[in-house]
Amino acid sequence: MQSVLLLLVVAICLTSVRSFVSRGQCAQKRIVVSSLNALDADTIGRLDELKEKFTRLSNVVSDESDAEKAKISDVVEKYDTYKEVKTMMGKLRLMWRAEASDRRKAKQLKSFTDLYNGKLEMEEVLKEKLGLPYNKESVSTVKELATVADFDAKIAKLTKDLESVEMVIPSGMSTRDERFFGQVKS
């Protein structure tokens, strides 16, 4: 009886440890995915607080509130635009996955990369406005996007070259005759 109870306790402990390990791996994946965003949680929190403050000040009619609202209006507007761009990127990603046409997929991908570049620029502007360290030079040159654009250009060139190549077969001769019997003279 005790051995069965001991075996049961060991099985429960192993199951618990396994579930905690898998949860820890999921948390690591979330950290990696969230690190793709340039704005961290503290910065987003500060921006949300500024937006709430702007909303509260909009409800108050006074010269002091108007002056304070004017100070933060630029940051709040840029943050609203930033959130809209993130929403549009998510919608484009879903549309791209469901799209069947290659031409539309290409247009949606181009729109997505343009929005991504704009998002990166807005992140740097927001960092600058909040007084955080920023780097505007890194925004204009995203190496990975430049590499993708280079490969797209190479693929387009190779596709164009492939379309221009023709196989010239003399009239009246089948390719079978040419393969098996060489040049057939008429």
Cβ 69 vs Cβ 153: under 8 Å: no
Give the H/E segment covering residue 116: helix 102-130
Q: What token pair was written down for 116?
A: 């991504």
Q: Does the reported pTM lie above 0.95?
A: no
Measured between alpha carbons, how far is 166 from 157 in angstroms, rounded to an integer?
16
pLDDT tens sequence for the chain (186 residues): 655 555 555 556 556 656 555 545 444 444 433 335 568 888 899 999 999 999 999 888 889 988 999 999 999 999 999 999 999 999 999 998 898 888 898 889 889 888 988 898 889 889 888 888 877 776 666 777 788 888 888 998 998 888 877 666 666 656 666 666 665 555
Alpha-helix residue ranges (DSSP H) falling in the chain: 2-34, 41-58, 63-98, 102-130, 137-140, 143-164, 175-181
Q: Could you state, in order of their start, the residue ranges of all structural domains in the chain?
A: 39-158
